[in-house]
Structure 1
Amino acid sequence: MRNRKGERPIEATAPRPFSIEQYNSRTDRRTSQNGPLAFSAFVFAVVFAAVVAGGFAISGRFDVWAVVAAFALACLAVMTIHIAMQWEKVVVLRFGRFNRTKGPGLYFTIPFIEQTALKADQRIMVTGFGAEETLTSDLVPINVDAVLFWMVWDAEKACLEVENYYNSVSLAAQTALRDAIGRASVSEVAIRRNQLDQELQEIIEERTSSWGITVLSVEIRDIVIPQELQEVMSAEAQAEREKNARMVLAEVEKDISAMLVDAAHVYEENDVALRLRTMHLLYESVKGSGGTVVIPSAYSEGFSDAAFNHMTDALKAKG
């Protein structure tokens, strides 16, 4: 397309498809740091102001050493006094070894001796993962997108047993998805979605339980099959339905033919039944047409007086 001034044409770009990696990268998981940072700044300001004010009250003037001492004490206070948000568990190490877990709320550490190793978010986490161009057991490449719901139940294990528990869970889920797809055919993947969800949950749970992480659920979002294969599968499904319809029709025809054979035997053994059937068919024809019906000679014989008398005698004889 060309703009109004006749300048260089502007090419329209197609929208980029949704990407699991983009979703995971743009997810903001740093919201829990705003509160602790504001609290640390507040502690620093309060301690610094208190020490400077105390030095001024003692010496009667602002001294450089008082400012330096205030800055040092404020830094020590920031390294000592901390807060953890309601959804956080903090892992504290002493001399590099695990000492305790704290939080939520206010907690204290010894400067230079104890360190905060990890702040584990114990809310339900949502991780998107997928498998692109993954071959099924019948060698069909498909794309599958899924969502994993999980949470950290043991902050100590999440800190000590794995380097980065969030990325580890994502990679473990992706690997489990690829393995599950490779063991199933394309039709099984498309039809057995609920079974695939349950299988993935059990496999990921087995791998992440040692990291202090529990898997709540796994949900398959989308399964993309190549367009050529979709047409073939649609034709196969239509052929299968047509086959079933023909089999049902054949069964019905078989039952009808068997009933007609039985009726023929009855009519062969009883002329009265045959004539009554003839009269019934003629009555249905007249009733359906609502007018005059031309009766062939073979049918009219059933309405003659001789035929009626013969029919009466036959009924009396059988009675």
Structure 2
Amino acid sequence: MAIPLLVVIGVIVALIIASFRVFREYERGVIFLLGRFWKVKGPGLRLVVPLIQQSVKIDLRLITMDVPTQDVISKDNVSVKVNAVLYFRVVDPERVVIQVENYFMATNQLAQTTLRSVLGQHDLDEMLSAREKLNHNIQSILDEHTEAWGIKVANVEIKHVDLDESMVRAIARQAEAERERRAKVIHAEGEYQAAAQLVAAAKRIATQPEALQLRYLQTLADISNQSKSIVIPIPLEIFRLLGGQESTHTAPTKPS
């Protein structure tokens, strides 16, 4: 009689030990009573009656998921390979267990299809230069669909946009042509501004003769610093003055 009694006591002790579950601070236990949802138990030591109750442990921490590389055809018919990283967490353990069989796989598949769908609506230039906008669009769409599963998508980041070698060369040529265009525009703008300044200077000198005299003296100083032979230009005013003097000394007329 002692041996069966010990066996019974051992079975009871084993059932009692098996009835307790320890959930960490970031874990929740979804409890089912005879197959029907009962409640969600928080962290700590919790009692789960064997054979009658079943528990499913859910992690509430932020999950980082790599979205595999996807072949995407952009709006301007350019084939690229794009991959991304997805950050999400479980916010409703009840729905994530009841509404979807494997929430991790379901979220991964939804992220792949959404990535192809969103990027296919944009040009290649937008993929390369407007990633912040595309990330926000993908995150909004994923969050809207996963809300029914009890999942919150925190962020989506496009990591790489890989192009064919021919497209890389074409983009390099386009960038070089754009730089040349900007250089020509800047040069033309400089020429225009210089011409405007020269016109303004000419008008100022025309109205103020002393400015021309100062410019004349400055030119003489520059010539004397650069060459041993000095060429002194004669201002036009001297010729005008001499011409005026000759006109005043006219020949006397003969008496009739």
TM-score range, shorter chain: 0.7 to 0.9
Q: Is the CA contact 1:137–1:184 (under 8 Å) kept in the aligned structure 2?
A: yes
* Residue type of the alignment partner of 1:300: P
Contact kept, 8 Å, 2:70 with 2:112, in 1: the verdict is no
* Structure 1: 5+ residue stretches without partners: 1-54, 311-319
Tell me the TM-score normalised to structure 1 length: 0.67
The answer to whether structure 1 residue 231 and structure 2 residue 149 are counterparts is no
Q: CA offset at residue 257 of structure 1?
A: 2.1
Alignment partner for residue 138 of structure 2, among 179, 195, 200?
Answer: 200
Q: Which amino acid aligns with 1:100?
A: K
Amino acid of the structure 1 residue aligned with 2:218:
H
* Residue in 2 that maps onto 1:165: 103
The root-mean-square deviation of aligned C-alpha atoms, in Å, is 2.9
How far 1:202 sits from its partner (Å)? 1.3
1:204-223 aligned within 5 A: 204-223=142-161
Whole-angstrom distance in 1 between the partners of 2:131 and 2:229 = 62
Secondary structure of the 1:115 match is strand
1:292 and 2:228 correspond? yes
1:301 paired with 2:234, answer yes
Partner SS for 2:122: coil
Higher RCO (C-alpha under 8 Å, 6+ residues apart)? 2
Contact kept? 1:83, 1:103, Cα under 8 Å: no
| 1:257 partner amino acid | A
Confirm or deny: 8 A CA contact 1:142 1:225 kept in the other structure: yes
Sequence identity of aligned pairs in percent? 29
Give per-residue Cα distances to partners, 1:277-297, cap 9 Å, x unaligned: 23322323434x3x52442xx
Partner Cα distance (1:300, 1:218) in 2: 76
2:77 corresponding residue in structure 1? 139
Q: Which amino acid aligns with 2:28?
A: K
| Aligned pairs for 1:145-184 within 5 A | 145-184=83-122
Q: Distance in 1 between matches of 2:208 and 2:45?
A: 103
How far the C-alpha of 1:166 sits from its partner, in A, is 1.0
Matches within 5 A, 1:30-45: none
Alpha-carbon distance in structure 2 between the residues aligned to 1:77 and 1:157: 29
Q: Corresponding residue for 1:315?
A: none
Aligned to 2:31: 92
Tell me how many residue pairs correspond in the alignment: 243
Q: 2:45 matched to which residue of 1? A: 106
Alpha-carbon offset, residue 246 of structure 1: 0.6
CA contact (8 A) 1:130 1:177 kept: no
| Corresponding residue number in structure 1 for 2:181 | 243
State the TM-score, normalized to the length of structure 2: 0.82
The answer for the alignment partner of 1:280 in structure 2 is 218
Q: Kindly indicate whether residue 59 of structure 2 is the aligned counterpart of residue 121 of structure 1.
A: yes
**Cα distance, 1:236 vs structure 2:** 0.6
| 2:76 pairs with 1:76 | no
Partner Cα separation in structure 2 for residue 293 and residue 151 of structure 1 = 87
Q: Which has the higher strand share?
A: 2
Where does the alignment leave 5 or more consecutive residues of structure 2 unmatched?
242-256
- Find the aligned partners of 1:119 and 1:77 in 2 and give their Cα distance: 19
Task: Give the Cα separation in 2 of the matches to 1:149 and 1:166.
Answer: 12
